[in-house]
Homo-oligomer: A and B are copies of this chain.
Amino acid sequence: MTCNPEFQTDRKKEMMAVHDAMDVLNGKWKIYIISSICHYNKRRFSDILNDVIGISNKMLSKELKELEVNKLIKRTVLDTHPVTVQYELTKHGKTLQTIINDLTDWGIRHRREITGKE
């Protein structure tokens, strides 16, 4: 197997990239939050709170903020009384959809692999 320096740095770059991606998705609820917003296109805080079963407002708030920092979602404060806040995927956020779909498909196949043979 090759072992030259270039190969090493290439693999390091790959590792970094995967790490970047995983970092964004990291957190117990992030994918579910994205999935909720994505499905409804636009979604309010309290609605997501209902969609994602089991999440607390603290965690929802925290992970939404992280997603916003990573430019995956856009946060809009609506001028209502009382104030409501709307979230939607950015263009960049939408590029995650295929990833999530692939993960879903793989998860289904994986479950079959594990449960179907033992």
Interface residues of A (CB under 8 A from B): 1, 11, 14-22, 24-25, 31-32, 35, 39-40, 70-71, 92, 95-96, 98-100, 102-111, 113-114
A17 is contacted by which of B1, B24, B108 (Cβ under 8 Å)?
A: B108
A103 is contacted by which of B18, B105, B110, B113 (Cβ under 8 Å)?
A: B18
- CB A2 to nearest CB in B, in angstroms, measures 10
A21 is contacted by which of B17, B71, B110 (Cβ under 8 Å)?
A: B110
Q: List 22 A-B contacts (CB under 8 A).
A: A1-B40, A14-B104, A15-B32, A15-B35, A17-B104, A17-B106, A17-B107, A17-B108, A18-B104, A18-B107, A19-B107, A20-B107, A20-B108, A20-B110, A21-B103, A21-B106, A21-B110, A22-B31, A22-B107, A70-B114, A95-B106, A99-B106
